[in-house]
């Protein structure tokens, strides 16, 4: 019988499995209904930024950046981490005031981040239209990595430390028998005293199986790929337009880009919504006028896993022994996976967590005591 079962083989489940095994807990089983990384992780843009507005998220990112920098040394697998920086464009006076405060907070914690003028921003990414830009927040040590490689790195390192990974093993029901959790799957039964829910956008379904309300809602997000472009350099930073969540970066010969759709209903639909193209085209062509002459090569959609305050849920469940949650990353789970894996392993092994976890506690929703992360893409 394993000591711990992890439900979900995305970047979070694989990082937790790796960190548990690295800390000496080798008796771990990861149960994944599809293939490793086949949930939100493989649909993600791979962005890694330290530019958050809350201390807890900034610290998770700082730790994760240090981990991504030595990812190959840790796991034996490259992550293709490119520290090209993140440039966040600010177009409203009230946002500029908020950024001045958040930059001060980030700098006080040790992040190398600066407020740039619109001209300086265009100097970094020639091709952007700055007519309505008031300033830009820039951090050179932010960047992006390859999600597939990161899942491979964590999972292969976990496997070599003894973690058993069961793919195409869908969890269909969970019972409590004495001190153990008995998990029924399409590949048989698994039992363990420790159970970790790392099921991404599907976490509330697992919550129903254990009678715990996990407020994680699936929301579709798109990623578009353009035909080849020359105007944006290969080492240009990832760019985010703060007011509407438009983001873009170089990928191969073209650009990838996306944007939140305020009209998007909750749901598990991941078919591409082609009716969204005119809306996003208008926004992206305003910022990158040269794109109006460039075609789209491909589009895909995946799921964000949103919570009411767009912060993750990390920790135990009061009154329920041996149950831990690591879900609801609200669009920043890839970048936080290294730090989250480390802190969840500490919790499960009964160690004092070396990160502040109160902002991520499940109880915050019942107590209505939470601080929304405002730097949300
Ligand atoms: C378009 C887009 C762009 C994004 N860009 C970024 C970015 O730039 N940076 C960033 O940090 N994040 C980004 N994200 C968010 C990121 O993808 C997620 O936060 C992250 O992948 C969450 O990882 P996870 O392991 O929690 O979830 P997942 O990768 O979804 O893994 C959960 C796994 O649980 C499995 N599962 C579910 N139910 C069951 C069951 N009953 N039995 C067994 N297994 C089950 C699923 O199959 C899935 O593989 C983006 C997301 C999208 C959609």
DSSP 325-347: EEE--TT-HHHHHHHHHHHHHHH
Nearest CA to ligand 1 atom 53: 302
Using the predicted structure, report yes or no on whether residue 71 has a pLDDT greater than 80.
Answer: yes
pLDDT, position 1: 60
- Ligand 1 atom having least distance to the Cα of 223: 1
Whether residue 90 contacts residue 374, with contact meaning beta carbons closer than 8 Å, is answered with no
Using the predicted structure, report yes or no on whether residue 229 has a pLDDT greater than 80.
Answer: yes
- Give the span between the Cα atoms of 103 and 61, in whole angstroms: 15
How confident is the model over 166-173, as a mean pLDDT?
Answer: 98
Tens of pLDDT, residues 201-224: 999 999 999 999 999 999 999 999
- Give the span between the Cα atoms of 127 and 358, in whole angstroms: 42
Nearest CA to ligand 1 atom 7: 47
Give the SS3 label for residue 183.
Answer: strand
How confident is the model over 135-146, as a mean pLDDT?
Answer: 98
Q: From the CB of 38, is ligand 1 less than 6 Å away? A: yes
Q: From the CB of 326, is ligand 1 less than 6 Å away? A: no
Centre of ligand 1 to C-alpha 200, Å, is 5
Using the predicted structure, report yes or no on whether residue 304 has a pLDDT greater than 80.
Answer: yes
Centre of ligand 1 to C-alpha 196, Å, is 15
Using the predicted structure, report yes or no on whether residue 367 has a pLDDT greater than 90.
Answer: no
- Give the span between the Cα atoms of 250 and 253, in whole angstroms: 7
Nearest CA to ligand 1 atom 3: 44
* Dihedral of alpha carbons 370, 204, 195, 22, sign: negative
pLDDT, position 118: 98
For residue 64, what are its two tokens? Answer: 């994760």
Instruction: State how beta strands 86-90 and 238-241 pair.
Output: parallel
Strand-pair partners of 224:
257, 299
Centre of ligand 1 to C-alpha 305, Å, is 7
For ligand 1, pick from 36, 42, 50, 333 the residue to mutate: most ligand atoms within 8 Å of CB: 333
Q: From the CB of 43, is ligand 1 less than 6 Å away? A: yes
Distance of CA 356 to the CA centre of its chain: 18
For the chain, give the mean pLDDT.
Answer: 96
Q: From the CB of 34, is ligand 1 less than 6 Å away? A: yes
Tell me the backbone φ, ψ of residue 6, rounded to 5 degrees.
Answer: -110, 125
Whether residue 236 contacts residue 249, with contact meaning beta carbons closer than 8 Å, is answered with yes
Least confident of 10-19, 249-258, 304-313, 366-375: 366-375
Classify the phi-psi angles of 179: left when phi > 0, otherwise alpha if psi is within -120 to 50, otherwise beta: alpha
* Dihedral of alpha carbons 371, 265, 46, 144, sign: negative
Centre of ligand 1 to C-alpha 275, Å, is 24
Tens of pLDDT, residues 106-127: 999 999 999 999 999 999 999 9
3-state helix, strand and coil shares in percent for the chain, rounded to the nearest 5: 35, 25, 40
Give the SS3 label for residue 358.
Answer: helix
Using the predicted structure, report yes or no on whether residue 15 has a pLDDT greater than 80.
Answer: yes
Nearest to 329 by CA among 309, 360, 306: 306
How confident is the model over 276-285, as a mean pLDDT?
Answer: 97
Give the percent of the chain with pLDDT over 70.
100
- CA distances, 168 to each of 3, 195, 196 (Å): 21, 18, 18
Q: Is 368 exposed, middle or buried (0-12, 13-18, 19+ CB in 10 A)?
A: exposed
Centre of ligand 1 to C-alpha 213, Å, is 19
Q: From the CB of 322, is ligand 1 less than 6 Å away? A: no
Whether residue 88 contacts residue 238, with contact meaning beta carbons closer than 8 Å, is answered with no
Give the SS3 label for residue 247.
Answer: strand
pLDDT, position 208: 98
Q: From the CB of 245, is ligand 1 less than 6 Å away? A: no
Q: From the CB of 46, is ligand 1 less than 6 Å away? A: yes
Nearest CA to ligand 1 atom 2: 44
């Amino acid at each position: 019988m394993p000591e711990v079962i992890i439900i979900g083989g995305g970047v979070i489940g694989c990082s937790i499995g790796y960190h548990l095994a690295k800390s000496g807990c080798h008796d771990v089983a990861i149960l994944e209904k599809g293939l490793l990384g086949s949930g939100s992780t493989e649909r993600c843009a791979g962005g890694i930024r330290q530019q958050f507005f809350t201390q807890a998220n900034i610290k998770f990112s700082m730790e994760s950046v240090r981990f991504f920098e030595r990812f190959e040394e840790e796991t034996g697998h490259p992550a293709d981490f490119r520290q090209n920086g993140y440039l966040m464009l600010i177009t409203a006076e009230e946002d500029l005031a908020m950024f001045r405060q958040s930059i001060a907070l980030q700098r006080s914690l040790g992040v190398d981040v600066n407020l740039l003028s619109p001209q300086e921003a265009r100097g970094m990414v020639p091709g952007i239209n700055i007519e309505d830009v008031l300033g830009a927040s820039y951090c050179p040590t932010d960047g992006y990595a390859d999600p597939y490689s990161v899942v491979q790195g964590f999972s292969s390192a976990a496997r070599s430390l003894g973690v058993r990974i069961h793919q195409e093993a869908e969890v269909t029901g969970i019972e409590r028998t004495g001190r153990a959790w008995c998990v029924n799957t399409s590949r048989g039964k698994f039992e363990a005293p420790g159970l970790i829910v790392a099921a991404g956008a599907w976490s509330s379904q697992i919550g129903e199986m254990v009678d715990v309300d996990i407020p994680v809602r699936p929301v579709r997000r798109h990623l578009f790929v353009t035909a080849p472009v020359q105007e944006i350099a290969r080492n240009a930073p990832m760019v985010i337009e703060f007011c509407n969540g438009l983001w873009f970066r170089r990928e191969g010969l073209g650009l990838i880009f996306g944007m939140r759709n305020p009209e998007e209903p909750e749901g598990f639909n991941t078919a591409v919504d082609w009716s969204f193209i005119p809306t996003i085209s208008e926004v992206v062509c305003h910022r990158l006028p040269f794109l109006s002459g460039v075609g789209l090569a491909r589009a895909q959609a995946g799921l964000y896993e949103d919570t009411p305050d767009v912060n993750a849920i990390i920790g135990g469940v009061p009154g329920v022994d041996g149950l831990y949650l690591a879900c609801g990353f609200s669009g920043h789970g890839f970048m936080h996976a290294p730090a989250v894996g480390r802190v969840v392993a500490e919790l499960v092994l009964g160690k004092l967590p070396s990160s502040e976890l109160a902002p991520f506690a499940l109880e915050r929703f019942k107590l209505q005591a939470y601080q929304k992360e405002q730097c949300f893409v």
